[in-house]
Every structure is written in C-alpha cells, then in structure tokens.
C-alpha cells in the first residue's frame, strides 16, 4: 500500500498448512475433505496473536492431491472455507491462501521453489526483514530461505531452520519475544 511518498510494508508470517495448521494425513495420503481436516491444538490462539500483532498471515501450501486427481480445486476451497470458519471461533483469520496444485517438476510454485511467495507479493508488500516462514518439512524451510525470510521449523525437525519450535503456538510466542528485543 502506498501512503504519501513511501510504501507501507507488511510483516508477514507464511505458514505451511498440513502439519502446521491441521493434522497431517498419513504418508502418501492427502487431506481430501472437510471431514479429514482437524485443527491442531493452539493454532487458533497462535493465529489470533499474529492478527493482534498486525502480521499478515498467509498460507503457502503444496496440494499435489489435486494433480493426482484425488480432489478438485473446488473441494480444496471448501476445506479452506471450513478452516477459515473454524478459525473465526478463535477471533483469528487468514489474510491469504496460495496453493500449488502441481506434481513435482511441473511448475515454479511448488515448494521448495518460491513461486507461491511471488504470488503473495502481487497482493501484499512484504517486509522480508521482519517476516517468517513456519513449516514442518525441509521444502518449507528451503523455500523460506530462498525467499529471504527467517525460518521456523516445527515438530522438532530442524532442517537447518533459523529457529525450531514444537508447534505453531510455540513458534508464534518466539516471534513475539523476538519483537520485544
């Protein structure tokens, strides 16, 4: 957003979805319906804290199940609508959702590539110096590093992230503490 003669940049927290916001499907499976989508403990509170601190909360998610024909984009949009309505119960909201529906090697948006981040930049001016990528896989962390934001790995799987947390709420509390320094 342009204000006067300068640009107001956004502090952004980019989130992977599966394994960060909701329970992950079994290996080689996908969350394919609203019935399979279950918010992880503390996620509503974590996103609410980010909203209160004026961070933009953006989801960047690989959804290969679409490319494999296991779900449609319309089904995925229904899952995201359900997720948003569930988060509203915590007075929490997501500012944007960016999805890669492709198989590996078919695009430049599938993490660890940064195409989803570039898509986000078309809608939000990102202050990379004060933004973060939180994920539970190596591709999440690599994408965040390539894009130039600080990275936080959750579930104790470091992947050489800038910080490791046990879950999203722990990661957000760490971000809030960093802002106090």
Catalytic center residues: 16, 18
Which residue, chain included where needed, has tokens 């909701």?
22
> Which structure tokens are listed for 6?
């300068």
Terminal Cα-to-Cα distance of the chain (whole angstroms): 27
Beta-strand ranges (E) seen in 6-72 are 6-7, 12-15, 56-62
Residue 74 to residue 90: CA distance in whole angstroms: 25
């Amino acid at each position: 957003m342009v204000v006067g003669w300068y640009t107001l940049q956004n502090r952004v927290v980019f989130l992977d979805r599966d394994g960060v916001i909701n329970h992950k499907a079994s290996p080689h499976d996908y969350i394919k319906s609203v019935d399979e989508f279950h918010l992880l403990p503390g996620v509503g509170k974590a996103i609410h804290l980010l909203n209160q601190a004026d961070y933009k909360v953006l989801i960047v998610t690989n959804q290969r199940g679409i490319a494999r024909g296991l779900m449609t984009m319309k089904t995925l949009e229904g899952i995201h609508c359900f997720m948003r309505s569930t988060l509203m119960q915590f007075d929490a909201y997501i500012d944007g959702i960016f999805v890669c529906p492709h198989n590996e090697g078919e695009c430049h948006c599938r993490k660890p590539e940064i195409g989803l981040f570039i898509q986000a930049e078309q809608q939000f001016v990102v202050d990379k110096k004060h933004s973060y990528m939180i994920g539970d896989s190596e591709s999440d962390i690599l994408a965040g590093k390539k894009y130039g934001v600080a990275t936080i790995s959750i579930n104790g799987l470091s992947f050489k992230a800038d910080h490791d947390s046990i879950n999203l709420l722990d990661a957000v509390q760490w971000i809030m503490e960093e802002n106090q320094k």
